[in-house]
Structure 1
Amino acid sequence: MTVITDELPNDVAALKQLILKERREREAEAERFEAQKQAAIEEAVKAAVAAILRRYYGPRSEKFDPRQLLLCGQQLDDAKLNQSSIEDESGEELVTRRIKNRDKHGRQQLPEHLERIEIEHDLDSKACPACGNERCRIGAEISEQLEYFPASFKVLKHIRHKYACAKCDHDGYDPNIAVAAKPPQPIEKGLPGPSLLAHVITSKLGDHLPLYRLERIFERQKVHVARSTMCAWMRCAGELVTPLVELMTERVRQSQVIHTDDTTVPIQSPGAKQCRKGRIWCYLGDEQNPYKVYDYTPSRSRDGPAKWLTGYEGYLQADAYGGYDGMFHSQNVTEVACWAHARRKFYDAQDSDEERATQMLALIAKLYAVEREAKESDDDARLALRQERSMPVLERIKLWLDAEEEVVLPRSPMATAITYAQNQWTALNTYTTQGFLNIDNNASERALKRVALGRKNWLFAGNDAAAENHARLWSLIASCERHGIDPQRYLTSVLAKIGTTSHDELDQFLPDVWKVEDATEILEPAVGGALPSPSMDAIANIADVLRQSGKPIIDRNVVVGASP
């Protein structure tokens, strides 16, 4: 409050009242400012707590409800739902959960490839209750029941026959004793066969089953295999497949675009109170080099990806980790940012700034709507659609970011989201320059889920060498799943043969090559007779694979699915 000197009263009492009034106004203003400050702090704390609770206890889905757009100007309960306008604004089709899941109910047909065991049920008495004559059979009612036969251990007894020359032995000479050769084993003089070894690997690294639980499962069949023994088996298997993983690494480095991400893995430290954190990195090749390769580093230093990507030239899609910046400046590597990362920051800012967050999520939804429409298109058509539809949306997003950056509170979640998008803006636009690039890096995040699920079960790796071994075996299992291959069957085949395979012939064990070659073979089981003949559906599926490869499949002298 400003007081003009000429207007001040001459009365002392009046002056005191004027001073007291000014003091009270200043105190009230200070209290209002303090209350606003305290409210802002409380709001920020509530938003932070809500974000933490949602992270640990809330749903993981970050789906955006397009009806949230109505909250920007009016209450949802008072608004009339205009489906067409909401779909246009959000870029998403409104579909209720009930309709979406309606087709998933009901019993599914049992697969045709399962073995059928017929169990006949007949009448105890066929006599007619009316006349006493024997009733004749007029048909049958057939129903199917799914049953489970637990896996079982078998012992393969290798009998190596020995031969000697009786004449030379009788004449006092060397009898020239010879013993039949034993097929090479994945672990020489070791107990496990290839199938058991593949089962242990798949159970731990594919199904996230700790070895101590697997030990208990084996105990139920009266077979004791110590977890330490199985750990040693996995180490030997990891060393055996190292050349194959190196070959897959070389192939991934030839990709036009590589997706990469990293996550932590606890490493046991003897004498320490808690585990230290190592890093598992994943590198995903493109469609011409369709493999997922994992790598381990003791820390998150930039030396890890820099060493793995030495000599690589192309596009690298990753998060905003600064360790990649050196490659973007020194190598011919183009940065492709992830819109899912940028979107997530705006999604997390909803608790403190719902209106702005909802506006940005709606704009980003338009970008993803274009991607869904272009999903089945070829690269040229996808690129044309992005240039036509996505570029205008990106221009709107840029204008929005520039405008809101000036008015949001510094250090708020919304300011953090805007700053991230502004810093990554060039890389966030790179995907619109090539049709084969993706809008986000979700593929590599999904690839790292197996690590996150595993560490919640087996908790930690024993040392750096064990973590490196896990990364190699993960590379094979994940690449199998990418091609729809049973990892246990694949690993059984690889472990049985790779020890006697030269380096020049390792490409036969690449998952995509192995899948095609496996489809052309009639496999004979290790014990027992021949496998049953495949069903016509199975033959048709195999034929589709072979038509793409140009190879015929020969089954009992009948050529099926040969290329014309």
Structure 2
Amino acid sequence: MATFSQAHQCEWRERAEGLERENLTLKERVGSIESQLALLQRTVFGKKSEKLPRVEDELRKAPGVRAPPRSREVTLKERRLKREARATLPERVIHHRVPDEARRCPSCGGTELKPLGPGKRTELIEYVPAHVERQVHLQETLACPCGAGIITAPAPKAIEQGQYGPGFLAHVVTAKCCDSIPLYRQAKALARAGMPVARTTLCDVFHEVGRATVPLASRLLALVREASLVHADETPQRVLDEGKARRAYVWTFRTDELIAYVHSASRSGVTPMDVFGGTGGYLLVDGYTGYNRVTLPEGRVRVGCWAHVRRKFFDALPTAPESRAALDFILALYHVEHSAREAGALGTQGHLDARRTTSARVLEQLATWVDEQIPRHPPKSPLGMALRYTKGQWSALTRFLEAPSLPLDNNAAERALRAMALGRKNYLFVGSDEAGRNLAGLSSLVATCEVNGVNPEAYLADVLMRLGSHPASRLDELLPHRWQPSSASAPDSS
């Protein structure tokens, strides 16, 4: 009887433990679903104030933190640049005469009126619609009286397809890569300008330019590979394959002045390995494991991104208000960077000293808080995942204490991918992997132009004329950050 009672108790104990485990699992699932629902509602229906605020905005609201004086300096600089740009615009003077019926003195009725100075001046900024022209290039041909020698002026330089000039090609590429305008929309705009061009023709010339500029894009990527600090990120890209769209990826690798995109058929670590295998330096990335192959021992040193950590804790707020403590700790880290920027000390030894004192103290407090919170939250709950992500990335996240040149976040790479994401939204997919590579290469050149304050349309129009005859040993001279416009005179239009 006792034996039966003990067995009975053991069975009920096991059943109770099973129900407890099931209950815990259900709680985790419900918490995860509630968090996903709250995130979806905030994303779709939420007010702007309910979305992740910028660090700069939160710092301005923090007590004891002054708005950075550079904000006014930036405003004044923008106004000055606008005035300078306005002064360089082509000017056309339009004279307005007083109507004949009004050429009479309103006081005495006299008609002997004389001009009073140059007249009242009013300036308007007017948009003159773009136009397409057909250029006829006449090459002078000279013959010697001896009858044996004939000299012909050089032909206009362009890529092999030759029917369209470099300015036209540069406009098509810039409109797609810089302004995210699909080729079919460009075809409609060209038709309005009086030049109907088939979308397939624009597609052909776009990829012709992509193939012609492969050496430049490859050299740009090689320079990024050699940099001591590189930001990296990736985003999906759809590729048309046998009538269906499959998922590929676009990777961005950037430095302060260079941006390189790489098209890849997958998100595996092969692409980072191909780009950075065998190199040293720092690689600033999120927690994606695809970068592990190049950040293992004897590889690049991995630097973590605090913006990703901040986003995870913010997403956990609706179901776990205690996440606010983590957000305050992270804001304190950015406060140190804000103070260094305000004092003009970014990248200096003073900046590093502030990190190793104030920031290190904040990190110590945050680490203690994370260790205390981990046992209290299910692993698959939003806060549980944020805590474990932070714990797992801690070594990379604290790497910024080693050097003042290491940023706290990877926002620079995310900004570089924004143009690709906008383009993806507009043109939906690329036609093939080769098309994806052409798009990535041309986007690298255009994005690097923008980072360095270079007009990408002027750059491409000039470089396309020079590529065929430029020495390969001096290819770097044609890269966007080193480019100088050619001094070649414009063709004679007489």
Task: Please give the TM-score of this superposition, normalised by the length of structure 1.
Answer: 0.74
Decide which of 217, 227, 231 is 1:259's aligned counterpart.
231
What is the Cα deviation at residue 44 of structure 1? 4.2
Task: Please say if residues 132 and 194 of structure 2, whose CA atoms lie closer than 8 Å, have aligned partners that are also in contact.
Answer: no
Report whether the alignment pairs 1:229 with 2:201.
Answer: yes
Alignment match, 2:39: 51
Decide which of 76, 84, 96 is 1:121's aligned counterpart.
96
Report whether the alignment pairs 1:300 with 2:267.
Answer: yes
- Structure 1 residue runs of 5 or longer lacking an equivalent are 1-30, 69-82, 169-174, 530-564
Alignment match, 2:410: 441
Alignment match, 2:459: 490
Report whether the alignment pairs 1:62 with 2:52.
Answer: yes
Alignment match, 1:157: 136
Letter of the 2:363 counterpart: L
Alignment match, 1:310: 277
What is the Cα deviation at residue 284 of structure 1? 0.8
| 1:36-60 Cα shifts (integer Å, max 9, x gaps) | 9988865543321121233455559
Alignment match, 1:20: none
Decide which of 335, 338, 349 is 1:372's aligned counterpart.
338
Task: Please say if residues 352 and 404 of structure 2, whose CA atoms lie closer than 8 Å, have aligned partners that are also in contact.
Answer: yes
Alignment match, 1:282: 252
Matches within 5 A, 1:355-394: 356-375=322-341, 376-379=344-347, 380-394=349-363
Matches within 5 A, 1:32-431: 44-56=32-44, 58=46, 59=48, 61-63=51-53, 87-88=62-63, 111-123=86-98, 124=100, 125-133=102-110, 134-138=112-116, 140-162=119-141, 179-186=152-159, 188-272=160-244, 275-286=245-256, 290-354=257-321, 356-375=322-341, 376-379=344-347, 380-431=349-400
Pair 1:57–1:481, CA change in 2 (3 A): farther
What is the Cα deviation at residue 65 of structure 1? 9.5
Q: Distance in 2 between matches of 1:131 and 1:163?
A: 71
What is the Cα deviation at residue 371 of structure 1? 1.0
Q: Distance in 2 between matches of 1:94 and 1:415?
A: 35
Q: Distance in 2 between matches of 1:38 and 1:408?
A: 14
Moved more, 319-328 or 200-209: 319-328
What is the Cα deviation at residue 372 of structure 1? 1.4
Letter of the 2:176 counterpart: K
Pair 1:462–1:334, CA change in 2 (3 A): same
| 1:2-57 Cα shifts (integer Å, max 9, x gaps) | xxxxxxxxxxxxxxxxxxxxxxxxxxxxx9x9999988865543321121233455
Alignment match, 1:74: none
Task: Please say if residues 277 and 299 of structure 2, whose CA atoms lie closer than 8 Å, have aligned partners that are also in contact.
Answer: no
Pair 1:65–1:226, CA change in 2 (3 A): closer
- Structure 2 residue runs of 5 or longer lacking an equivalent are 1-18
Moved more, 425-434 or 218-227: 218-227
What is the Cα deviation at residue 410 of structure 1? 3.2
Pair 1:56–1:298, CA change in 2 (3 A): farther
- % of aligned pairs identical? 32
Q: 3-state DSSP class of the match of 1:156?
A: coil
What is the Cα deviation at residue 164 of structure 1? 6.0
Larger Rg computed on CA atoms: 1
Letter of the 2:432 counterpart: N
Letter of the 2:41 counterpart: L
Q: Distance in 2 between matches of 1:483 and 1:52?
A: 38
Q: Which has the higher contact order (CA 8 A, sep 6+)?
A: 2
Task: Please say if residues 243 and 503 of structure 1, whose CA atoms lie closer than 8 Å, have aligned partners that are also in contact.
Answer: no
Q: Distance in 2 between matches of 1:347 and 1:407?
A: 18
Q: Distance in 2 between matches of 1:229 and 1:343?
A: 46
Task: Please say if residues 28 and 378 of structure 2, whose CA atoms lie closer than 8 Å, have aligned partners that are also in contact.
Answer: no
Alignment match, 2:421: 452
What is the Cα deviation at residue 212 of structure 1? 0.7
| 1:446-483 Cα shifts (integer Å, max 9, x gaps) | 10001100011111000000000111001100100101
Moved more, 58-67 or 204-213: 58-67
What is the Cα deviation at residue 94 of structure 1? 8.3
Q: Distance in 2 between matches of 1:309 and 1:126?
A: 77
Report whether the alignment pairs 1:475 with 2:463.
Answer: no
Task: Please say if residues 236 and 248 of structure 2, whose CA atoms lie closer than 8 Å, have aligned partners that are also in contact.
Answer: yes
Letter of the 2:122 counterpart: S
Pair 1:512–1:41, CA change in 2 (3 A): closer
Moved more, 449-458 or 124-133: 124-133
Pair 1:276–1:62, CA change in 2 (3 A): same
Decide which of 492, 499, 506 is 2:468's aligned counterpart.
499
Task: Please give the TM-score of this superposition, normalised by the length of structure 2.
Answer: 0.84
| 1:206-254 Cα shifts (integer Å, max 9, x gaps) | 1111111111111112312111111111111111111112222222122
Task: Please say if residues 215 and 227 of structure 1, whose CA atoms lie closer than 8 Å, have aligned partners that are also in contact.
Answer: yes
Task: Please say if residues 272 and 294 of structure 2, whose CA atoms lie closer than 8 Å, have aligned partners that are also in contact.
Answer: no
Task: Please say if residues 262 and 280 of structure 1, whose CA atoms lie closer than 8 Å, have aligned partners that are also in contact.
Answer: yes
Task: Please say if residues 263 and 440 of structure 2, whose CA atoms lie closer than 8 Å, have aligned partners that are also in contact.
Answer: yes
Letter of the 1:159 counterpart: L
Q: Distance in 1 between matches of 2:184 and 2:367?
A: 54
Pair 1:67–1:326, CA change in 2 (3 A): closer
Pair 1:245–1:350, CA change in 2 (3 A): same
Q: Distance in 2 between matches of 1:66 and 1:232?
A: 44
